Chain A
Amino acid sequence: MEVDRKLLEHVAEIARLNLNDEEIKKFLPQLKESLEFFSKLKEINTDNIKPSFHPVELKNALREDEAKECLSQDDALSLTEHKKDGYFKGPRAIQ
């Protein structure tokens, strides 16, 4: 695997980040060094080992589907200036 400028720009785009030239120059060797170090995990034999997505065993947390009081529309909209007619206003989704 070659960690190069092209791959870095591709990953940044997926993550919705726009990196300028200076950032790319700075981040590229740093990410290479980190990923090389993290690659040492492949030294460990994990055949037939199940992954742990949590550190402790968790049970499914279920509850009754009951209607309850929740955040009012006014409160929910109170934290942004981008709103209109009781809705959040977002950027254009279709060109």
Chain B
Amino acid sequence: MLCHDFIKKIKNREIDIASHTEKIIDECKEINKEYNYFNTISAELALEQAKEIKKQLKNKDSKIKNKKLLGVAVSVKDSICVKNVETTAGSKILRGYKPLFDAFAIQKVKEEGGIIIGKTSQDEFGFGGFSANVGIGFKIPKNPFDIERSCGGSSGGAAGLSQKLDNHIALGESTGGSIAEPASFCGVYGLCPTYGRVSRNGLIDFSNSMDKIGPMGKTIDDVALMMDVIAGYDKNDSTSLNVKKENFESFLNKPIKGMKIGIIKEAFAEGVDREVEKNVYNGIYELEEEGAKTEEISLELPIKYGIATYYMIATSEASTNLAKLCGMRYGATEKLENSFNEYFTKVRSSNFGDEAKRRIILGTFARMSGFRDAFYLKAAKVRTLMINEYKKAFKKFDALASPTVPILPPKFSEIKKLTPLQHYLTDVMTVSPNVAGLPHINIPVGFEKNLPIGMLLIADHLQEGKLIQLGSAIEKGK
């Protein structure tokens, strides 16, 4: 059932919201036993919200019936602050942190009657593409189709839960592909909006010039619905875009005849699994059948240099953003002893996981005097060239197509053998649109060996509507 239809039943009181929410929480607990999609299940908050909605529904004059998300279960990636609910970004260093405020996106979800069911598991601070780099003491989420395999990352819990739980929409977060990648591995839709389209206020920074909150869900309709709720200007985020509010749902079922799709040539080259390639082409053929025009386009810079550019910018920013985590004011603490440098070092060394340490070191190195020009500044200049290359492509095309990930979801035993660099290389398709702040979406296009495959579509800044339009055309064709 689409969330849209579910909401109607809630409004008509065909479904009792209080008992339904109780059932959902029980279901989440059951799913979590096997799949580890939650760091925290916020049962108390969810039941309280449901009770309040039930009360207001009895009142005929209440405006509650106008709420866009009424009664829909909403899960929240653990890097997004929810008031009074433990928020750790998947890191031991934030254990026990219960924010005193709601993130902007959470305020919007609550205002529209969405029910917060919990905080979903992720790579520590978002540092990974397989959700295998969880913080010390956290559990690794598993693929909904095969528990020996990864559900992708870093919004892994959000993606897996979206596949498993009905009448639910997830809030994920992407810095370098952390919405599209896990969505692909779990066979769901994941839309990463334009940088600045959704406020970052209340999102725990990883790389502040690339972090974006976005929706994930089982259907394109659910994703569009959530975009309508969370998008918009926020004066408390200096990078929030003050642009006209779109009606994203109006792009659903809109004909795509005449739209132009560029097929990124380099994205189908060596290293791409043949089964992935075949299924992504099936997606492209479906778009052609619905009347879209396709043509190959060469985008060498994003595919060849995207990884290096992304990791230099992302680690540089991460190393500064994580400097504030030092065992004071909130989160993990130790006994106060020795000098402040020794204290901070002790807290950080014993609470950050391996990948967090590696990225802090890489980023600190890239910003150090003597290396800054060759690494960080160089990457920022290549970023300009990359944005220019994309902008040129969008003069001709409405969207660009590639696989979302070049491989099928790998087994955990295979992931263990990868070096960090080999791990980074699997992000090849998604890092560049993130570097350029471009909206992109994962669209499920097929299955091989009972594992889902996704197609990535990228659009120009603020053109999320086109992605919803195209995703909707493929969903309809199924």
Measured CB to CB, the residues of A under 8 A from B are 1, 7-8, 11-12, 14-19, 23, 26-27, 30-31, 33-35, 37-42, 44, 46, 49-56, 58, 61, 63, 71, 75-76, 78-82, 88-93, 95
Query: Are A41 and B384 neighbours in the complex by a CB distance under 8 Å?
Result: no
In residues 233-261 of chain B, which contact A (Cβ within 8 Å)? 235, 238-241
Which of B26-34, B360-368, B394-402 makes up part of the contact surface? Answer: B360-368
Residues of A within 8 A of B371 (CB): 1
Contacting residue for B381 out of A11, A31, A50, A91, CB 8 A: A50
In the complex, the chain B residue whose C-beta lies closest to that of A44 is: B382
Name the residue in A7, A56, A81 with the highest tally of chain B Cβ atoms < 10 Å from its Cβ: A56
Interface size on B, as a range, is 35 or more
Query: Are A34 and B362 neighbours in the complex by a CB distance under 8 Å?
Result: yes
Query: Are A79 and B361 neighbours in the complex by a CB distance under 8 Å?
Result: no
| Complex alpha-carbon distance, A14 and B364, angstroms | 8
| Complex alpha-carbon distance, A92 and B343, angstroms | 9
Measured CB to CB, the residues of B under 8 A from A are 96-98, 100, 194-196, 209-210, 235, 238-241, 301, 305, 307-309, 311-312, 319, 323, 326, 328-331, 333, 336-346, 348-349, 352, 354, 357-358, 360-362, 364-366, 368, 371, 374-375, 377-385, 387, 419-421, 424, 435-438, 461
Query: Are A44 and B329 neighbours in the complex by a CB distance under 8 Å?
Result: no
Residues of B within 8 A of A93 (CB): 339-340
Q: Whole-angstrom distance from the CB of B227 to the nearest CB of chain A?
A: 18
Q: Whole-angstrom distance from the CB of A48 to the nearest CB of chain B?
A: 10
Residues of A within 8 A of B461 (CB): 56
Query: Are B346 and A52 neighbours in the complex by a CB distance under 8 Å?
Result: no
Query: Are A15 and B361 neighbours in the complex by a CB distance under 8 Å?
Result: yes
Q: Whole-angstrom distance from the CB of A36 to the nearest CB of chain B?
A: 9
In the complex, the chain B residue whose C-beta lies closest to that of A46 is: B381
Residues of A within 8 A of B308 (CB): 37-41
